[in-house]
Amino acid sequence: MLFYVYLKKLSVLAILALLPLVASGQNVSTNQASNQANKMLPERLGDFRAAGKIETIAPKQLEISQDFISAANRTYVSTGGQKFTASLFATNSDGAAFSALARRRAQVTGSSELRSANVGTDGFFSREGTNNSLTFFKGPIVASVRDDGSSESSDALRALGIALAETLDKGEADIPVLVKHLPGWPSVQDRALYILNHEELRKEFSNQNVLEVLTFATGTEAAIANYDGSKLLVIEFKTPQLATDNDTRIAARIQELRNQGQPVPAAYRRVGNYSVFVFDAANEQAANQLIEQVQYQQMVQWLGRNPTLYDKAANEFTRTTLGVFIAVVKASGLVIIGSLAVGGLLGALLFRMRRKQQRLAHAYSDAGGMLRLNIDELNATHDPARLIGPGN
C-alpha cells in the first residue's frame, strides 16, 4: 500500500516538473511566430542604415486580417539623411499576403495617387499628403515603406523597397490564379479583392443573404471586381463535390429568397468548380454576359502514380524524334541546295574563263585556233645559225 502511495506522489511530482517545460515550449513557439517579422528588418538595407530599434506589433493589434502572424516597424536613414519607416507583416501564406495587399490598395484608391511598382511580386506607389509610400508583397510577407515627406521623388523609396524585397523569400512568385481568371484581369487587377475566409466575404456583401449557405472549407478562395457598376464574385472550391454541394444550396437559397421578396443576385451560374455571382447589374442580360466571360481551367492532380505517364512520355519522345528528323531533313536539303548552287556558280565561272581563253587563241591563229601541221615546210622550225655545218 505504501508503495502505491509513493508511486502516486512521484507521478504527481514528475507532472509538475514537466509543466514549466511544456509552457516554455509553447512560449518559444509563440515568440518564434511573433518575432518572424523582426528578423527581416536588419541593420542595413543596401545604402540605408537602421536608425532605431525594431518596434514589434502584437498580433492582437493586427485588425487588417486574421491571417497575419506578426508585424514590426523600423526606421532607416539614407546617405543623404532622409528618413524612412519600413513595416513588415508576416502572414501564413502567399495568398493571404496578396489578399492584404489588394485590400490595402482598395482602401487608398480614390484617396491618393496610385501607380504600379515593379517591386516584389506585386506592388504599388501611393501618395498621401506630402508622404510617398510603397507597398508590395513577396511570398507570405507584405511590406510597406514610407518616407518622411522631405522629397517629392520616389527614387530613394524605390531603392529601399528593392533592397528590402531582395532579403525576402520569393514564395510562389505569382499572384493567385483565380484573380487572373477574372474577365479582363489586367485592367481590373488594381481594384480586385481576393478573399480567403467567409467572414470577410460576408462583410463585402452584408445585404446578400444568399452567401450565408456557403461552406468555406480549407482552400476555398474568392475574387471580387467591379465592372461598370456590376460587382462580380467568383468563388473557387477545390473539389467538384464541394462545388456541387454549394451549388445545390445556393440554388435553393436563391429560390427561397425570391419567394420572400428579398434581394437576390442579378445572375448566378456554376462554371466548373466556380460559383459565379453578379450583383447590382443593370439587367439580367448584362449579368449573364459578364458570367460568360469567366473561364474555368480544369486542373487534374493524381494522388498516386499517374497512369497516363508512360503514354505522355511516349508521345513526347515521338514528337521529339519527329522534330529531330524533320530538322535533319531540312538541314540536309539546305546543304544539297547550297552545294548545287556553289557548284553551278563555280562551273559557270570556269566555263566563262575557258571560253575567254579560246576567244584569245582565235585572235592570233590563222587556222581558226586549230593545230597546223608544217607539211610544206613553209615555216622554219629551227634556227639555221645554230646548226653545225658539214665540215665541222
Q: Count of CB atoms within 10 A of residue 200's CB?
A: 18
CA distance 335 to 21: 79
CA distance 152 to 129: 11
- Classified as helix, coil or strand, 228 is coil
SS (H, E, C) 259-286: HHCCCCCCEEEEECCEEEEEECCCCHHH
Q: What residues contact 53, with CB distance under 8 A and at least 6 apart?
A: 74
Mean pLDDT of the 239-258 span: 94
Q: 38-165, which class in CATH?
A: alpha beta
Mean pLDDT of the 244-269 span: 94
User: In this model, does residue 23 exceed pLDDT 60?
Assistant: no
Cell of 171: 514564395
pLDDT in tens, 156-169: 999 999 999 999 99
pLDDT above 70 covers what percent of the chain? 76
Mean pLDDT of the 311-317 span: 79
Where is pLDDT greater, at 28 or 84? 84
Q: For the whole model, what pTM was predicted?
A: 0.65
Q: So what's the pLDDT on residue 29?
A: 37
Segments making up each domain of the chain, as ranges: 38-165, 177-291
CA distance 118 to 161: 10
Give exposure, 331-349, as e/b (b: 16+ Cβ within 10 Å): eeeeeeeeeeeeeeeeeee
Where is pLDDT greater, at 15 or 121? 121
